[in-house]
Amino acid sequence: MLLLLQIIVITLSFISLEHETLAALPYTSVVLPIHKHTDASKPLYSVQVMTAYVNMQFLKQNLLIDTDAPIIWRTCSLQWNMYQGSCPPDTQCAFPVSCEEYQCTEARTSFSYKNPYCQRETNKSTLPGWGECTCPINVVNPIDASCVQTQLNYDDFTFNQSNGGNVYTGLYGAYPNAACAPSSSLQSFPANVTGVMALSSSPYALPARLVDPLKRVIGLCLPSTLSALGVLLYGDSPYYLLPQSSVDVRSYLSYTPLINVNHSDSFGYYIGVNNIVIKKRSIAIPADAITKISTTEPYTILRSDIYNPVVRRFSMVTKRIPQATPVPPFGLCFSSSTSGTQVSLKVPDIDFSLPEGKKWTMSAANSIKQVTPDVACLALVDGGASFEPAIVIGSFQMEDNFLVFNLENSTFGFSSSLLRKKTSCSNFNYTLVSSY
């Protein structure tokens, strides 16, 4: 009996120690640096991830941020026996999922990108020298909407730990089912970007594949310049940006519910917008209209019945600013030079009024795009009369805004422009700090 009591005490001590260790973990999130790219057909953003560990160091890849993609995919080489040293030097290798495994069927039925122009998914492909079939799945290139046939794999990513204000030397491993794509699928991609990082609500996106102690909360801050990094933090974390290193950015945030939308081909994030307000005049939004958040559409798109009154109102309240010939895809542009000198346009805020009295403000930094040295345009695009969803918030409107997709409680947090708080998305402290 005494021996049994001793075993119970020792077991409880280990359990208590384990809980204390988890509670004392120095990190609350993992961190990924964000790059902005302008060398493709539209501005895009990527996160840098660590992949294979080769010759005592991690290989790295830049993957496009896509809040709508159903699955992570990247260029890599499938190797059945990669753990026996068959992977070529400095090559991104991954272990394939066989068509006979349940993960193959599950992946094909867990998301729907059944583009009629896609190749039919079959189980006939095999790797050279091996009789086992691979698992082809179709994805869509978010830049040119082309169909890409990829091969499902067992992947391996590594991230730095963070407390929301620093990058720790400690590492966190994630092991999602992702997909290997041919290098030919990257022709429309920015230089040095080799795949797509899915951040959607799909069961095969990154948020579904990061586990305890991390909570399903995405903190996203897109940079507005090419020269400095933005930041993606995953986990229920405070957020700190220089120079206010003691101010939790969450104190700047307002929150609105994420809406569940029955779109079989979309795993993106949607919110409700009641109206758009410009200089105290409200433009009503149809009751059936929904709003999507997109990291791959560069500018906010409005259905014509919303776009037209918004542009009319904005034109009216800026009538003292000389207009210029519109530069596609924009419909309202202004002269931004005086006597050959570029000037900063003073325009009113555009407020997106949300449920429960919340307001997401688009200041000039997020509403006016300088397209030439002499011309600046209202960065809204007419989607046409039948465009759905009725509103898509584009990435230009999200730059230097801190956004939080909280999948634990289905809310969306937004800061409006951080520039008005004397900071920006490029002010995260990437100095490496010891975890110990």
CATH number for 99? 2.40.70.10
Global pTM value: 0.90
262 shares a domain with 182: no
Distance CA 315, CA 334 (A): 10
Smallest CA-to-CA distance from 219 within 264, 163, 296 is with: 163
214 shares a domain with 175: yes
Q: Own/partner pairs for 54-60, CB < 8 Å, 24+ apart?
A: 54/87, 54/89, 54/90, 55/89, 58/158, 59/90, 59/92
40 shares a domain with 165: yes
107 shares a domain with 164: yes
The 3-state secondary structure of 232-267, one letter per residue: EEECCCCCEECCEEEEEHHHHCEEEECCCCCCCCCC
User: What is the extent of the structural domain holding 100?
Assistant: 29-244+429-433
Is the residue at 5 inside a domain?
Answer: no
Smallest CA-to-CA distance from 33 within 435, 434, 425 is with: 425
Distance separating the N- and C-terminal Cα atoms of the chain: 41
Angle at 154 between CA 151 and CA 156, to 5 degrees: 120
Is the residue at 40 inside a domain?
Answer: yes
Please provide residue 407's backbone torsions phi and psi, each rounded to the nearest 5 degrees. -85, -5
pLDDT at 181: 94
Rg (CA), the chain: 24
Is the residue at 2 inside a domain?
Answer: no
Per-residue pLDDT of the chain in tens (436 residues, 90 and over written 9): 333 333 333 333 333 333 333 334 578 999 999 999 999 999 999 999 998 777 788 889 999 999 999 999 999 988 876 555 567 776 788 889 999 899 998 888 876 555 666 777 777 777 665 667 889 998 999 999 898 999 999 999 999 999 999 999 999 999 999 999 999 999 999 999 999 999 999 989 999 989 888 999 999 999 999 999 999 999 998 999 999 989 999 999 999 999 988 655 678 999 999 999 999 999 999 998 999 999 999 999 999 999 999 999 999 999 999 999 999 999 999 998 765 555 678 999 999 999 999 999 999 999 999 999 999 999 999 999 999 999 999 999 999 999 999 999 999 999 999 999 999 999 999 999 987 7
151 shares a domain with 45: yes
Look at the chain and report how many structural domains it folds into: 2
Contact in structure between 74 and 176 (CB atoms under 8 Å): no
Contact in structure between 407 and 207 (CB atoms under 8 Å): yes
Is the residue at 38 inside a domain?
Answer: yes
Distance CA 256, CA 356 (A): 8
291 shares a domain with 216: no
User: Which segments within 223-345 are labelled E, that is strand?
Assistant: 230-234, 240-241, 244-248, 254-257, 269-271, 275-278, 281-284, 291-293, 300-302, 323-324, 333-335, 337-338, 341-342
